[in-house]
Structure 1
């Protein structure tokens, strides 16, 4: 049986998705105009901001099918999407996940969750600004999940592009958000080397295949 539907991963995901339901009840003070990424990350340190169950299972299936040696995630949060990715790498029997998060609270929580799930040896959780942490990746990248600050989707993708393998998949979560539009405009323009399609999970996912460099 897939590890996604077996213990301990199944139980941990159920617990995390249940905890994430409380996001709507959080009382988060409005941030001042021009707040930095770090200020926003600190303000939302208690928010799970999770991928949906359907979205997580889609991510798992894509990793199982593509069998990438290196999976990169922008926006770890509490590690829900990371766990779906790591479960797929575990079941593939090869590969690793590199994920990055700005909130120190969430970095600690995600690392603890991944250790509890027994997959921490498959995941590097990088703490800090994604445009700095992800610049350290030298290996070819077969799949990217963009799920952090929406206005950084395109800068992060452009940073990683030189290391994308032919046929690499890039998934942009929350594709229905207006702030994702510059990214969508880019990956939907075939002149930029992608074949892209929207997928109707909660808040949308844009799935793009790297067809040329």
Structure 2
């Protein structure tokens, strides 16, 4: 029943997000006059695909992941896929969103899906909301403002363990490619591309 509620909520959100490209284009257009800001995409979902979401569920279940951190909640689509996974592992999600308006809508979606008790939403700059995190990180989903990928990775790195997976979305974007090139220079990590290079999985070499 709970999984069905998640699926129904996800279907509604994906249906609502079908005009996302128009909203994104409007946000990008504003960069003609000034640098792009997160508020330019306040109404855009900026979500992962269903295929990516299903892959995240598979990763969580196969590895029995319990401690999940997500950077970039948006309206909660990717978070709901993470929740589908941890239903089977008795896990917990910490997700962080810069924009309060988006975070509030995400919380409403989590309540609608019946999983708000599994998800801790932190509102604000992720560098602050995740500062001093001391718990192990099984899965880190990087899907927020791109220039923060590297500092967040470095800040949370002491909490990685031998089975940790860092899921990097938008891997085909210039800023993210620079981040991945930096990580690739460290011999202890291995990188695996997925979904025609849209996503990359980072893990520690065995």
Normalization by structure 1: what TM-score? 0.88
1:194 matches 2:189? yes
1:208 match? 202
Report the Cα offset of residue 45 of structure 1. Answer: 0.8
1:87 matches 2:88? no
Native 8 Å contact 1:96 1:122 kept in 2: yes
2:131 match? 135
Native 8 Å contact 2:139 2:164 kept in 1: yes
Matches within 5 A, 1:1-213: 6-26=3-23, 27-28=26-27, 30-31=30-31, 32-34=33-35, 40-92=37-89, 94-191=90-187, 193-200=188-195, 204-211=198-205
The alignment covers a number of residue pairs equal to 202
Report the Cα offset of residue 137 of structure 1. Answer: 2.0
Native 8 Å contact 2:65 2:91 kept in 1: yes
TM-superposition CA deviations, 1:175-202 (whole Å, max 9, x none): 11111112111232342x211111125x
Q: Distance in 1 between matches of 2:205 and 2:150?
A: 17
Q: Distance in 2 between matches of 1:181 and 1:117?
A: 34
Q: Distance in 2 between matches of 1:185 and 1:160?
A: 18
Normalization by structure 2: what TM-score? 0.91
TM-superposition CA deviations, 1:141-174 (whole Å, max 9, x none): 1110000011211111011101112220001001
Structure 1 unmatched ranges of 5 or more: none
Secondary structure in 1 matching 2:140:
strand
Native 8 Å contact 2:70 2:142 kept in 1: yes
Structure 2 unmatched ranges of 5 or more: none
Native 8 Å contact 2:38 2:145 kept in 1: no
Q: Distance in 2 between matches of 1:67 and 1:114?
A: 22
What root-mean-square deviation, in Å, do the aligned CA atoms of Structure 1 and Structure 2 show? 1.8
